[in-house]
Amino acid sequence: MKNKKMMLKKFFVKNKKGFSIIEMMVVVVVMGLIILALVTFFTGGTRSWITGQSQLSAQRNARQAMDWMVREIRHGEAVTSATPNSITIAVPALGSDPAESVTYSWTGTPGDPINREGNPLINNVKKLEFTYPDASKVHIVLEVDVDKDSNPDITLNSDINLRNFGL
């Protein structure tokens, strides 16, 4: 017991002028561990927030793209070209102008955008599938993948009836 007290006195010398080097080293190590824990916590929180923001942005963009396609297809007179990855519809023009055609297409390669008349509508598309139950109906499945893993982050489905079919 006395040996332990002697060893402790040897390491922790009572110095009224300041701290010993060992006391300073202990404080530096403890502070370093506290700072490391705080940095790890805040880094994880920031990473989680960024992931959440990208998910929200992708979901908003997917819904806007789906709404745009649904609205335009719904106003169509007829489907003039139909494949699983693309659709061309005849959309009536205003006034006495002839109908114009609008094409939505996807290459079939995950990550490529959906194009409307050759212009990108939405990126990071994992799947776009058009099915045609009959001449006046279209079903769309849209899957968007933000983080490039095997599972899509957003999946949207919509059934559309052409309002101006046969007019």
pLDDT band at 1 (very low <50, low <70, confident <90, very high): low
Domain-located, residue 17: no
User: How would you classify the pairing of strands 86-91 and 119-122?
Assistant: unpaired
Domain-located, residue 24: no
Domain-located, residue 33: no
Kindly give the residue spans of alpha helices, DSSP state H, lying in the chain.
2-11, 21-74
Q: In a 3-state reduction of DSSP, which class is residue 164?
A: coil
What pLDDT score does 9 carry?
Answer: 63
Q: What total of structural domains would you count in the chain?
A: 1
Domain-located, residue 15: no
Largest CA distance in the chain: 108
pLDDT band at 165 (very low <50, low <70, confident <90, very high): confident
Give me 87's structure tokens.
């659709």
Residue 4 has pLDDT above 70, yes or no: no
Domain-located, residue 18: no
Give me 16's structure tokens.
């009224």
Domain-located, residue 81: yes
Domain-located, residue 152: yes
Cβ–Cβ under 8 Å, residues 143 and 129: no
Residue-range definition of the domain harbouring residue 63: 39-161
* For residues 103-130, average pLDDT: 92
What pLDDT score does 6 carry?
Answer: 64
Q: How far is CA 46 from CA 24, 35, 49, 50, 75, in A?
A: 32, 16, 5, 6, 44
